[in-house]
Amino acid sequence: MSHSPPRQQSRLRPPPVPEPRGALSAAVTARLRGSDPGSMPSPAGSSPYGDDLQLALYVLYELHYQGFEGVSEDLEWDSRLLALRGAIEDRFLSALRTDVPIDATDTARQALDELQVEPVDGSGSVSHFLRDHGSLDQLRAYAALRSLYHLKEADPHAWVLPRLHGRAKAAMVAVEFDEFGAGRADEIHAQLFADLMADLGLDTRYGHYVDAAPPEALATVNLMSLFGLHRALRGALVGHFAAVEVTSSPASRRLAEALRRVGAGPAAVRFYTEHVEADAVHEQVVRHDVVGGLLAAEPHLETDIVFGIRATTHLEESLAARLLGAWHEGGTVLRGAADW
């Protein structure tokens, strides 16, 4: 098991540059390391959900978050990297719009209600599987993958704040205030997840598990950044945020039960019990005031909100299928799992 850094220090140092997985990510990482990769490759022939494209996009987005060890901060706005990022985003977004078609008559209320309908037998659900059958190692692997988002929890959604107005803005700030610890550094949800990781014997350093993550896990994180960094996708980001809040409470309850069953410590359990309570309240605020307020101010964004909800579901279902497929066969979804 890995040794964790002291509490509240998991983000004080940027992570190392990840290992590339193909031509796109190799060109990006070479540029970050100070090499001239020559002409940037085109993403046209790359799988939009594959290892290479998703890792390249993840690395490009991380320049706007924590950056990387030994990489100049000036590269956040490097014109060649931004041009490549735009081409990769177009490929990813085009695939999502094809795979998640939206009818003009679909409503945000309808899309949110759909999220509350779960299979009676829990089939296809990671939280159901972990609650009923998951081993400690499977829960550790799940936490390692989720750390790519949870160690920066709520950060991507904060980008929407300058783009909202009135009721939607006030409500979004209220929910984000809770996510960021309501004024207490030790209660920031990202810190609570680092505590969970330490309780499970995982390395709490920011971005530590990116090389272990399959593309399905990277895509779920990239989706938030894609929506967050584009004002034109503000409705989709609100949809994503709503989808997370609506589904979080019941899933968190099951994950807390799973952790208790395998004998995890109190810090691991606490992260999810905190979300059971908080997100049940957040769901109502998001439904009525964030989504409702945005629609009242900008009704033309309803289709975008629906797209954000359903694109989130689409990528989460892809990750669930990858995880459950591996676990049912007695394997692991982690890359290089021998030393994670």
Calculate ∠ Cα 105-240-175, nearest 5°. 120
CA-CA-CA-CA torsion sign (80, 82, 85, 86):
negative
Q: Which residues are CB-neighbours of 209 under 8 A, at least 6 positions away?
A: 144, 145, 147, 148, 202, 203, 334, 340
* pLDDT the model gives residue 120: 62
| Number of C-beta neighbours around residue 177 at 10 A | 12
Tokens of 234: 């503000």
List, as own/partner pairs, every contact residues 136-139 make where C-beta atoms lie below 8 angstroms and the sequence separation is at least 24, other chains included.
136/200, 136/262, 136/263, 136/264, 137/332, 138/327, 139/200, 139/255, 139/258, 139/259, 139/262, 139/264
Tokens of 278: 């908080």
Residues of the chain with pLDDT under 70: 1-11, 119-120, 279, 337-340
In tens, the pLDDT along 1-20 reads 444 555 555 567 899 999 99
Inter-residue contact 237 to 336 (CB < 8 Å): no
List, as own/partner pairs, every contact residues 102-109 make where C-beta atoms lie below 8 angstroms and the sequence separation is at least 24, other chains included.
102/303, 102/306, 102/307, 102/310, 104/303, 106/303, 106/306, 107/302, 107/306, 108/239, 108/242, 108/291, 108/295, 108/302, 108/305, 108/306, 108/309
Name the pTM for this structure: 0.94
Give the homologous superfamily in CATH for domain 108-339. Heme oxygenase-like (1.20.910.10)
- DSSP-derived secondary structure for 300-320: GGHHHHHHHHHHHHHHHHHHH
Q: CA torsion, points 53, 54, 55, 61, in degrees to nearest 10?
A: 110
Q: How far is residue 147's CA from residue 187's CA, in Å, rounded to a whole number?
A: 17
Q: How far is residue 216's CA from residue 149's CA, in Å, rounded to a whole number?
A: 13
Inter-residue contact 125 to 320 (CB < 8 Å): yes
Going by C-alpha positions, the residue among 194, 197, 175, 158 that lies closest to residue 1 is: 197
Inter-residue contact 273 to 289 (CB < 8 Å): no
Q: How far is residue 336's CA from residue 115's CA, in Å, rounded to a whole number?
A: 34
Per DSSP, which regions of 176-327 are E strands?
none
Domain residue spans of the chain: 23-99, 108-339
Inter-residue contact 303 to 199 (CB < 8 Å): no
Inter-residue contact 196 to 141 (CB < 8 Å): no
Q: How far is residue 295's CA from residue 183's CA, in Å, rounded to a whole number?
A: 29
